[in-house]
Amino acid sequence: MQITRLFDVPYYQLEHFPKDKSLNIKDGDTWISYSTQQVIDEVNELSAGLIKMGIRPGDKIAVVSLNRPEWIFADLAISQIGAINVPLYPNITIKDYSYTLEQSESVIAFVGGTELHEKIKEATRDISGFKGIYTFDKVENIPHWKELQVSYDEAREEIEKRKAAIKHEDLATIIYTSGTTGFPKGVMLTHKNILTNSEGVVERFKNVGNGYRTLSFLPLCHIFERTASYTHMRLGVEVYFTAIDTIADAMKELHPHYFATVPRLLEKVYDKIVKKGYELKGVKKALFFWALRLGEKYDPNENRGAWYNSQLKLANKLIFSKWREALGGNIEFIVSGAAALQPRLARVFWAAQIPILEAYGLTETSPGISFSKLDPGGYRLGYVGELMKDVHVRIAEDGEIEAAGPGIMQGYYKKPEETAEVLKDGWFRTGDIGVMEDGFLKITDRKKEIFKTSGGKYIIPQQ
């Protein structure tokens, strides 16, 4: 089967690599697993319930929660009946919730638990047309998401009719950017936008497939992890949702093969490792920093000679093997996106046989514009990889990176003027300054006096 809509992905997995542990989350000390078929069943029953309550094609539904299987269930259930998923961060202000829920015209919201229920309740107090809030956690006297579910058979005909009417180019989601100035803007992305981006990632992940495991801890409401989630599923990869503060334990327990992260988390991992190095004594401490110095000289595209290579081999055996062990022992690569990665960190991780594949993009580009490869010569230090499938880039006279291709957004929801400022004749103005060299893209600056921290947040110096 072909994947042309987001909700096709679990059916593709069922056909090609049906899994017993497709989506997984820990409850106390126990992992709760959903098979591919269970995922589809949960999605269909929720779709049936949404139709029964009167949700129509084009209606907007907010999802406000930390990563968990229910997030995916809601996402797919919403999309396959022609409604639009409006994912929101679970840690923004009531003012921002009020603005985004009203501006998007959301009619209901799925939320994680009690605290978010109270915030959304307050935020929607004066919004006409808003029908209700459903929690993923079981909370007394608050509607639970499973109360919405009804038998798939009750709405099978209507669900299949709606699915058949949904096209590749139809709107799938409205994602509100963290914003640089003023209120956030709702980025309108289609099934085609996201899925062609996912296809580009699949091309890079040549050896990834059935039997692989990954962790999901970056917010699903962000397009980076969202697109990754569809990619994992279409490749037959088991997904384990975990909180950021439990990543280290999850690595040791689950032995993941890869994961996606942001530079700030890699910096924290690196700083933690170096701190432990300073706590060592004598020969062990000397060996640790000797290995680190070797790593800082490493370049995957250079051969530094037999002496350096033999030293690095020894450093890997004595020191870096422990780094790989701390990441579970099976890590084949890490994907880093959403902000720039320090080249020094990239050198050391590559030297430690933990390749970091850097990616570049924006919410408006679904997100990938460029992505590094594991192939020989497919990665270059200080660059954010080669262009992804069917993506085109041109450098404007002032050095700004402009991108075109199937991943470019439809526009900002109900903001035609703001859309016209960044989108003209299919070319999106990224606001980043860069150069193309030998097919590799390099980001050199930000056009405006606004910069993005390594955690992905925008900072305005004047404020």
| CA torsion angle 355 450 227 422 (round to 10) | -130
Which of these, 193, 202, 204, 258, lies nearest to 13 by C-alpha position? 202
Q: Are residues 341 and 444 located together in one domain of the fold?
A: yes
Q: Are residues 241 and 327 located together in one domain of the fold?
A: no
- Domain contains 197: no
User: Which residue bears the tokens 């900002």?
Assistant: 412
What pLDDT shows up at residue 461? Answer: 42
User: Would you state the structure tokens that stand for residue 373, as one six-digit string?
Assistant: 């490869």
| CA torsion angle 432 435 438 439 (round to 10) | 30
Report the CATH number at residue 421: 3.40.50.12780
- Domain contains 193: no
Work out how many domains the chain is built from and give that number: 2
Q: Are residues 229 and 349 located together in one domain of the fold?
A: no
φ, ψ at 334 (rounded to 5°): -125, 135
| CA torsion angle 407 410 413 416 (round to 10) | 130
441: containing domain: 261-459
- Domain boundary residue, one of 218, 236, 256: 256
What pLDDT shows up at residue 463? Answer: 29
Q: Are residues 433 and 292 located together in one domain of the fold?
A: yes
φ, ψ at 376 (rounded to 5°): -55, 125
Which of these, 214, 210, 200, lies nearest to 235 by C-alpha position? 210
User: Which residue bears the tokens 């497939």?
Assistant: 209
- Domain contains 319: yes
Q: Which long-range CB contacts under 8 A does 15-20 form with residues at least 24 apart?
A: 16/236, 17/209, 17/210, 17/236, 19/236, 19/238
User: 10 Å Cβ neighbour count for 296?
Assistant: 13
Q: Are residues 239 and 321 located together in one domain of the fold?
A: no
**Cα→Cα distances 166→81, 108, 233, 309, Å:** 8, 21, 21, 55
What pLDDT shows up at residue 459? Answer: 52
Q: Are residues 244 and 320 located together in one domain of the fold?
A: no
Q: Are residues 275 and 400 located together in one domain of the fold?
A: yes
Q: Are residues 108 and 240 located together in one domain of the fold?
A: yes
Q: Are residues 241 and 322 located together in one domain of the fold?
A: no
Q: Are residues 252 and 268 located together in one domain of the fold?
A: no
- Give the Cα separation of 208 and 328 in Å (integer): 17
Instruction: Return the half-sphere exposure (C-beta side, CA atoms, 13 A cut-off) of residue 275.
Output: 6
- Domain contains 194: no
Instruction: Classify residue 138 as exposed, middle or buried by CB count within 10 Å of its CB (0-12, 13-18, 19+).
Output: exposed
Per-residue pLDDT of the chain (463 residues; tens, 9 = 90+): 999 999 999 999 999 999 999 999 999 999 999 999 999 999 999 999 999 999 999 999 999 999 999 999 999 999 999 999 999 999 999 999 999 999 999 999 999 999 999 999 999 999 999 999 999 999 999 999 999 999 999 999 999 999 999 999 999 999 999 755 678 999 999 999 999 999 999 999 989 999 999 999 999 999 999 999 999 999 999 999 999 999 999 999 999 999 999 999 999 999 999 999 999 999 999 999 999 999 999 999 999 999 999 999 999 999 999 999 999 999 999 999 988 899 999 999 999 999 999 999 999 999 999 999 998 899 999 999 999 999 999 999 999 999 999 999 999 999 999 999 999 999 999 999 999 999 999 999 988 755 566 666 655 443 2
- Domain contains 138: yes
- Domain contains 187: no
| CA torsion angle 106 428 362 393 (round to 10) | 150
- Domain contains 172: no
Model-level pTM?
0.94
Q: Are residues 245 and 290 located together in one domain of the fold?
A: no
Q: Are residues 269 and 230 located together in one domain of the fold?
A: no
Length of the chain equals 463
Three-state SS letters, the chain: CCCCCHHHHHHHHHHHCCCCCCEEEEECCEEEEECHHHHHHHHHHHHHHHHHCCCCCCCEEEEECCCCHHHHHHHHHHHCCCCEEEEECCCCCHHHHHHHHHHHCEEEEEECCHHHHHHHHHHCCCCCCCCEEEECCCCCCCCEHHHCCCCHHHCHHHHHHHHHHCCCCCEEEEEECCCCCCCCCEEEEEHHHHHHHHHHHHHHCCCCCCCCEEEECCCCCCHHHHHHHHHHHHHCCEEEECCHHHHHHHHHHHCCCEEEECHHHHHHHHHHHHHHHHHCCHHHHHHHHHHHHHHHCCCCCCCCCHHHHHHHHHHHHHHHHHHHHHCCCCCCEEEECCCCCCHHHHHHHHHCCCCEEEEEECHHHCCEEEECCCCCCCCCCCCCCEECCCCEEEECCCCEEEEECCCCCCEECCCHHHHHHHEECCEEEEEEEEEEECCEEEEEEECCCCEECCCCCEECCCC
| Chain Cα centroid distance, residue 454 | 15
| Chain Cα centroid distance, residue 419 | 24
Which of these, 188, 344, 184, lies nearest to 270 by C-alpha position? 344
Instruction: Return the half-sphere exposure (C-beta side, CA atoms, 13 A cut-off) of residue 53.
Output: 23
